Amino acid sequence: VIYPNPTSDLTKVSYHLNHAEPVSLELIDILGKQITLINQGVQTEGDFSIDLSKEKLKLKSGVYFIKLNVGKASVTHKLIITE
């Protein structure tokens, strides 16, 4: 779950693991360029979240993609950054 989306500042990416898995998150711009990679390492079973800050990542307004990689699976969501 990505909340809030659209956002003008801070976005939280929340997820649940049923068992221990390696987790990473990629932030990708509209052209497919990787902006950042956050490697969480192997996480145990449970609920987790990753905060993304527009200011800290120096993001401009626009459309981005968040790719959450869990083990060998991945899911991608669109993120809209506003002024």
Tens of pLDDT, residue by residue over 32-73, are: 999 999 999 999 999 999 999 999 999 999 999 999 999 999
- pLDDT band at residue 26 using 50, 70 and 90 as cut-offs: very high
Beta strand residue intervals within 19-61, DSSP E:
21-29, 34-43, 46-53
Tell me how many degrees the CA angle 59-35-43 measures, rounded to the nearest 5.
Answer: 110
Please give the pLDDT value at position 69: 98
Please give the pLDDT value at position 35: 96
